[in-house]
């Protein structure tokens, strides 16, 4: 890296002692680039073995990369922590203004340790760090209101990120999220609960600076190439057009859209909750993350009457994407767009991971229908597919946790099913609730073996879709190898914190050209080697914390419901996992 690059600065904040310091960690950035590569190392350094995810010993680590602030779409922040949801590796990525703000404030990474006795929020403005009392913000019902208050209190509009938790995080729901800029999230694996356990309500970060570059002319040339690709390519236009919600109809047509807790993989109401329907009837605005010209964020405007007075309306605006539509739409049999939006609004306001919430509600519905839980557990709520008001009542109780059943739901579907039964249809993989793909074995194996049990680890669904077109899936070993190759490469992208939507633009040659300008000169082979090493380092943490590929639970439901590639074969899945095991132990 270039000598005067502030990327090497790691800001350490101790919430117990209300103390902070900065260390130059060029060693880490030189070896592991930034983002997930550096954050994984900091997690190894800071998180003791067997740490309680909700204890002060669990660190929160944020990291950005060398291309952040220099090139478009290097706009994600990687968060790493020990997950209270799975009890293992926690990793979540978020856009908004977060990455640019951290880089412009003069840091490559931020490590938050300890815990506060009383609620506080952190204000990081360049090299000034403030511990602000958040007692008055604790318990405010809406995550959005909290954002508004901090917005009024703090400087640097347009140059800042405001990360905050809702009541879900305060109440330590294991799949609580952290929200930034109202519409973007560190969604998965419960970072919100880790914030809550530290009494950390929010973090605002801002800054403004110049970044060093090795060759100004070449920089402008490479920038222009990437910018043209980002604004001109049909793939990126798709993200701006209908957005990720565009996938609802094709995936449904394909027969891979999980419906009613995956009793089916085709939803008869798909058209009503499709990207096309939301765009035509509800789309109010499109937004972008900082330094991303694509603008994929889709905001629906929902106008509703209050009902107590004629002509008294409110208009709420909430973001939608493919995954929320799957989780609260098809997965719950909700085909009424307004019903979906109201449920989405509630989950946004409370600060929950929408994907996990949807899958938890889906399991609870089926569990009640099958009689393993009754209205007694649900305190009188009758759950039925498509009934969004019953789901909203349930979500409120997941936050309040008035009895053991709702306490169990607040810990995720894996935990709830371990207490109440119904594991066969408890759709979690590695402890994390499933994403919206029942496309074939690739999707499920990908999530099982993925280091964070996310569809974004290795995009197995994409392999299934290609296999369907070719009418040839290949062997289990070939499939496992493609997943591993993809996941290794994604470690590079996630270390550069490039949005995965831009993976088609940031091919290895472009990455090397861009990296060269920041003083990183590596060969293509060495780059792939770094990706492989980061992947192994993540698995080293997982293994240390008790993860084993042998212990993975396979919910029977995925074997029962036919996918577009036919019924899944359990032996095939196990062969693939076996291959991964061997490959990782090399």
**558, HSE (Cβ side, Cα atoms, 13 Å):** 26
Q: Rounded to an integer, what distance in angstroms lies between the CA atom of residue 106 and that of residue 413?
A: 40
**Based on CB atoms, which residue is closest to other proteins, 56 or 284?**
284
- Contact segment (CB under 8 A) with other proteins among 153-161, 259-267, 471-479, 484-492 equals 153-161
CA distances from 276 to 115, 285, 320, 321, 340 (A): 45, 15, 12, 12, 15
Q: How far is the CB of 524 from other proteins (least distance, A)?
A: 24
In the chain the first and final C-alpha atoms are separated, in Å, by: 30
Q: Rounded to an integer, what distance in angstroms lies between the CA atom of residue 312 and that of residue 305?
A: 6
Q: Which two tokens stand for residue 240?
A: 């701006």
Using rule CB under 8 A, residue 295 touches other proteins: yes
Q: Which of 12, 223, 500, 572 binds other proteins (CB under 8 A)?
A: 223
Q: How far is the CB of 290 from other proteins (least distance, A)?
A: 5
Using rule CB under 8 A, residue 294 touches other proteins: yes
Using rule CB under 8 A, residue 234 touches other proteins: no
Q: How far is the CB of 304 from other proteins (least distance, A)?
A: 15
Q: Which of 22, 51, 149, 159 binds other proteins (CB under 8 A)?
A: 159
Q: Rounded to an integer, what distance in angstroms lies between the CA atom of residue 419 and that of residue 427?
A: 15
**Based on CB atoms, which residue is closest to other proteins, 294 or 354?**
294
Helix (H) or strand (E) run with residue 116 in it: none
* Cβ 580 vs Cβ 484: under 8 Å: yes
**Based on CB atoms, which residue is closest to other proteins, 73 or 115?**
73
Q: Which of 18, 148, 303, 370 binds other proteins (CB under 8 A)?
A: 148
> How many residues of this chain interact with other proteins, rule: CB under 8 A?
41
Using rule CB under 8 A, residue 572 touches other proteins: no
Helix axes 508-516, 524-544, angle to 10 degrees: 100
- Contact segment (CB under 8 A) with other proteins among 203-211, 397-405, 531-539, 554-562 equals 203-211
Interaction residues for other proteins, span 16-75 (CB under 8 A): 69-70, 72
Is 369 exposed, middle or buried, given 0-12, 13-18 or 19+ CB atoms closer than 10 A? middle
Which single residue is written with the structure tokens 């008001």?
Answer: 389
Q: How far is the CB of 510 from other proteins (least distance, A)?
A: 17
**Based on CB atoms, which residue is closest to other proteins, 151 or 581?**
151
**Based on CB atoms, which residue is closest to other proteins, 288 or 397?**
288
DSSP annotation string for 8-62: GEEEEEETTTTEEEEEE-HHHHHHH-SHHHHHHHHHHHHS-TT--TTSTT--EEE
Phi, psi of 567 (to 5 degrees): -70, 140
Q: Rounded to an integer, what distance in angstroms lies between the CA atom of residue 423 and that of residue 443?
A: 19
Phi, psi of 440 (to 5 degrees): 155, -170
Question: What 3-state class would DSSP assign to 240?
Answer: helix
Q: Rounded to an integer, what distance in angstroms lies between the CA atom of residue 5 and that of residue 14?
A: 24
Q: Are strands 128-133 and 109-113 parallel, antiparallel or unpaired?
A: unpaired
Q: Rounded to an integer, what distance in angstroms lies between the CA atom of residue 501 and that of residue 235?
A: 9
**Based on CB atoms, which residue is closest to other proteins, 291 or 468?**
291
Q: Which of 76, 291, 538, 542 binds other proteins (CB under 8 A)?
A: 291
Using rule CB under 8 A, residue 287 touches other proteins: yes
Q: How far is the CB of 235 from other proteins (least distance, A)?
A: 15
Using rule CB under 8 A, residue 154 touches other proteins: no
Q: Which of 241, 284, 386, 562 binds other proteins (CB under 8 A)?
A: 284
CA distances from 312 to 169, 179, 301, 318, 338 (A): 33, 29, 16, 20, 18
Using rule CB under 8 A, residue 289 touches other proteins: yes
Q: How many CB atoms lie within 10 A of CB 303?
A: 11
**Based on CB atoms, which residue is closest to other proteins, 9 or 174?**
9
**Based on CB atoms, which residue is closest to other proteins, 217 or 551?**
217
CA distances from 564 to 364, 436, 461, 568 (A): 26, 14, 11, 10
Q: Which two tokens stand for residue 530?
A: 């770094």
Q: Which of 211, 257, 360, 381 binds other proteins (CB under 8 A)?
A: 211
3-class SS letters over 291-347:
CCCCCCEEEEEEEEECCCCCCCEEEEEEEECHHHHHHHCHHHCCCCHHHHHHHHHHH
Q: Which of 12, 131, 227, 572 binds other proteins (CB under 8 A)?
A: 227
Using rule CB under 8 A, residue 181 touches other proteins: yes
**Based on CB atoms, which residue is closest to other proteins, 181 or 532?**
181
Using rule CB under 8 A, residue 241 touches other proteins: no
Q: Per-residue string for binding with other proteins, 308-347, x by CB under 8 A?
A: ---------x------------------------------
Using rule CB under 8 A, residue 519 touches other proteins: no
Which residues touch 76 (CB under 8 Å, ≥6 apart)? Answer: 35, 64, 93, 94, 95, 98, 99, 289, 494, 497, 498, 499
Q: Which of 32, 183, 278, 425 binds other proteins (CB under 8 A)?
A: 183
Q: How far is the CB of 482 from other proteins (least distance, A)?
A: 33
Interaction residues for other proteins, span 77-106 (CB under 8 A): 100, 104
Q: How far is the CB of 338 from other proteins (least distance, A)?
A: 18
**Based on CB atoms, which residue is closest to other proteins, 57 or 225?**
225
Q: Which of 55, 87, 212, 250 binds other proteins (CB under 8 A)?
A: 212
Q: Which of 132, 260, 286, 575 binds other proteins (CB under 8 A)?
A: 286
- Contact segment (CB under 8 A) with other proteins among 77-85, 168-176, 293-301, 425-433 equals 293-301
Interaction residues for other proteins, span 118-147 (CB under 8 A): 147
Q: In the complex, which residues of this chain contact other proteins (CB under 8 A)? A: 69-70, 72, 100, 104, 147-148, 151, 157-159, 181-183, 208-213, 216, 219-220, 223, 227, 231, 284-295, 297, 299, 317
């Amino acid at each position: 890296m270039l000598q005067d690059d502030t990327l090497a600065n790691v800001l350490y904040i101790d919430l117990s002692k209300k103390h902070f310091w900065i260390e130059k960690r060029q060693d880490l950035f030189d070896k592991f680039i930034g983002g997930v590569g550096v954050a994984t190392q900091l997690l190894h350094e800071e998180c003791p073995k067997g740490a309680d995810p909700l204890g002060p010993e669990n660190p929160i680590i944020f990291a950005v990369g060398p291309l952040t602030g220099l090139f478009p779409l290097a706009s994600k922040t990687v968060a790493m922590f020990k997950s209270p949801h799975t009890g293992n590796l926690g990793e979540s990525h978020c856009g908004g203004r977060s990455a640019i703000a951290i880089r412009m404030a003069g840091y490559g990474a931020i490590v938050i340790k300890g815990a506060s006795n009383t609620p506080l929020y952190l204000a990081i403005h360049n090299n000034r760090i403030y511990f602000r009392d958040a007692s008055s913000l604790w318990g405010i019902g809406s995550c959005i209101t909290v954002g508004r208050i901090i917005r009024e209190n703090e400087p640097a509009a347009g140059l800042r990120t405001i990360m905050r938790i809702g009541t879900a995080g305060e109440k330590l729901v294991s799949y609580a999220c952290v929200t930034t800029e109202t519409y973007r999230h560190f969604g998965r694996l419960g970072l919100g609960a880790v914030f809550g356990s530290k009494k950390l309500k929010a973090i605002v970060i801002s800054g403004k600076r110049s970044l060093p570059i090795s060759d100004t002319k070449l920089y402008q040339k490479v920038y222009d190439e990437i910018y043209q690709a980002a604004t001109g390519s049909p793939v990126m236009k798709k993200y701006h057009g209908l957005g990720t919600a565009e996938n609802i109809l094709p995936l449904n047509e394909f027969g891979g859209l999980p419906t009613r807790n995956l009793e089916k993989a085709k939803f008869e109401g798909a058209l009503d909750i499709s990207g096309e329907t939301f765009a035509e009837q509800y789309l109010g605005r499109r937004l972008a993350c900082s330094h991303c010209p694509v603008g994929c964020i889709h905001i629906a405007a929902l106008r509703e009457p209050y009902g107590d007075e004629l002509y008294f309306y409110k208009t709420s605006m909430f973001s939608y994407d493919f995954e929320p539509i799957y989780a609260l739409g098809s997965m719950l049999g909700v085909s009424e767009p307004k019903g979906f939006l109201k449920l989405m609004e509630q989950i946004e306001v409370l600060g929950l991971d929408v994907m996990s919430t949807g899958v938890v509600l889906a399991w609870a519905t089926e569990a009640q229908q099958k009689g393993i839980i009754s209205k007694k557990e649900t305190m009188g709520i009758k759950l039925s597919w498509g009934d969004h008001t019953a789901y909203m009542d349930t979500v409120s109780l997941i936050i309040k946790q008035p009895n053991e059943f709702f306490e169990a739901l607040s810990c995720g579907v894996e935990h709830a099913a371990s207490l109440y039964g119904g594991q066969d249809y408890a759709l979690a993989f590695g402890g994390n609730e499933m994403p919206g793909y029942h496309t074939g074995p690739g999707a499920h194996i990908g999530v099982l073996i993925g280091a964070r049990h996310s569809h974004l680890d290795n995009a197995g669904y994409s392999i299934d879709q290609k296999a369907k077109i070719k009418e040839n899936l290949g062997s289990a070993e070939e499939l496992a190898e493609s997943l591993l190759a993809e996941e290794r490469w994604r470690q590079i992208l996630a270390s550069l914190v490039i949005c995965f939507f831009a993976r088609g633009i940031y091919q290895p040659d472009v990455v090397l050209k861009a990296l060269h300008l920041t003083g990183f000169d590596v060969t293509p082979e060495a780059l792939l080697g770094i990706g492989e090493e980061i992947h192994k380092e993540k698995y080293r943490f997982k293994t240390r914390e008790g993860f084993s590929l042998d212990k993975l639970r396979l919910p029977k439901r995925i074997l029962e419901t036919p996918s577009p590639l036919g019924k899944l074969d359990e032996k095939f899945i196990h062969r693939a996992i076996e291959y991964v095991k061997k490959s990782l132990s090399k």
